[in-house]
Amino acid sequence: MKRKNIITTLSLVLLLLFASCGNTADDPAAAVKAYHEGLTAFNSEITELSARMDAIDINAEDASTVLLICLDEMNTHFEELAALSVPDQYNGAKGLAVQASASMSEAVNLYHQLYSSESFDTELSSRAKASYDAAMGYVDSIGALIMNYSK
């Protein structure tokens, strides 16, 4: 699944970068380290939520409720990602994080509309999935950007 590829790529990038950071608070590397720690936390939470979403029994009576709860939590983590202080050397990552958060917020809003409607709306479902996929794509772009700056 695309989501697992994004998470794997971001995990590898973060592990490589985290190992190269210093620990001195006054060192410019401290900002990089703090950013990497924030990305690592984001990655861990998204990985856990993705696993919970994949484990939902679609035939269960509460499947849509459980999915929406997971999506709400995911949206919170995307908001936290957008709020991270981005070191200057990762120019562009902030904009990608803000776009990721906006796309996830839109996706969650659309999924809530979809599951609260009386009948299934194919167009609404497609828009929700497209927004979700866009959010994950922005996260993938952040990982690629960091990897390019780390070369």
Q: Encode pLDDT of 8-20 as tens digits.
A: 555 545 554 554 4
Gap between the Cα atoms of 132 and 60, Å rounded: 23
pLDDT of residue 2: 58
The closest of 24, 11, 16 to 50, measured between CA atoms, is 11
pLDDT of residue 1: 52
Gap between the Cα atoms of 146 and 98, Å rounded: 16
46 to each of 11, 50, 77, 89, how far by Cα in Å?
A: 11, 6, 8, 25
Work out the angle at residue 71's Cα, subtended by the Cα atoms of residues 116 and 10, and round it to the nearest 5 degrees: 155
pLDDT of residue 67: 97
Encoded amino acid at 134, one letter:
A
Q: Encode pLDDT of 34-47 as tens digits.
A: 999 999 999 999 99
Is 90 exceeded by the pLDDT of residue 148?
no
Encoded amino acid at 98, one letter:
V
Gap between the Cα atoms of 127 and 118, Å rounded: 18
Token pair 């839109």 in the structure block, residue: 106
Q: Going by C-beta distance under 8 Å and a sequence separation of 6 or more, which residues neighbour residue 73? A: 45, 49
Q: Encode pLDDT of 54-109 as tens digits.
A: 999 999 999 999 999 999 999 999 999 999 999 988 989 999 999 999 999 999 99
Can you tell me whether residue 27 is helix, strand or coil? Answer: coil
pLDDT of residue 16: 47
Token pair 């809003």 in the structure block, residue: 109
Where does the chain show beta strands of DSSP type E?
none
